[in-house]
Chains A and B, each alone.
Chain A
Amino acid sequence: AQKVTQAQTEISVVEKEDVTLDCVYETRDTTYYLFWYKQPPSGELVFLIRRNSFDEQNEISGRYSWNFQKSTSSFNFTITASQVVDSAVYFCALSGTSYGKLTFGQGTILTVHP
């Protein structure tokens, strides 16, 4: 069985602070994919990143960066210089080779105060 655990239920920061959202996963699949989704207050799910299990390179996209460490089964997400518009629920998710089904973490509520 697959499992995704997001350590923080809620995080509150002040604008321009850096913030890291933790994600730890469990799977028996040797090939798998990790995702981060953002759910703003409007409710839709916004895809942020996909990473496959063979690619452990860290990735940076603007103020967002992701740290994938297979040795610790972690896929952490950092927002640099946070902004109010980053306030949302962030989900980490895992997909093995079983028809693309996603297993989600419980989400981290990020609130960025001005």
Chain B
Amino acid sequence: NAGVTQTPKFRILKIGQSMTLQCTQDMNHNYMYWYRQDPGMGLKLIYYSVGAGITDKGEVPNGYNVSRSTTEDFPLRLELAAPSQTSVYFCASSADRVLNTEAFFGQGTRLTVV
């Protein structure tokens, strides 16, 4: 019963490097989300997807890209890493848009850009 799995758990990037944060869920959820959590702050929505092939921007999308080719996977791409992207990233999924259920969160990816 894996739920939402994120990889890697930790990563250090140099400024200008690129990387992909992986997120997979095995609950057949249509809705998936990427949030970032800055120190002392709540989570902010980066991108979300309502189904395979459909993505949309959240509150803080600049510097990121996403794709959703399958129901299970929702990778987050950083093309040119910047120190401002140092954060903890959480992927989440939910079954229902009206959210008569809770969002299931992954364990998080702690990213440091130096």
Contacts and interface: CB of A to CB of B under 8 A. Distances in A.
A114 to B, nearest CB: 25
Interface string A28-47: 00010101010000011101
Contact of A100 (B43, B90, B103, B107): B103
B100 A106 contact: no
Interface in B80-114: 88, 90, 92, 94, 96-105, 107-108, 110
B113 to A, nearest CB: 19
Contacts of B77: none
Contacts of B104: 47
B13 interface: no
Given A45-B90, A50-B102, A99-B48, A91 B42 contact: yes
Interface in A64-97: 91, 93, 95, 97
Interface of A: 4, 9, 31, 33, 35, 37, 43-45, 47, 50, 52, 91, 93, 95, 97, 99-107
Interface of B: 31, 33, 35, 40-45, 48, 50, 56, 58, 88, 90, 92, 94, 96-105, 107-108, 110
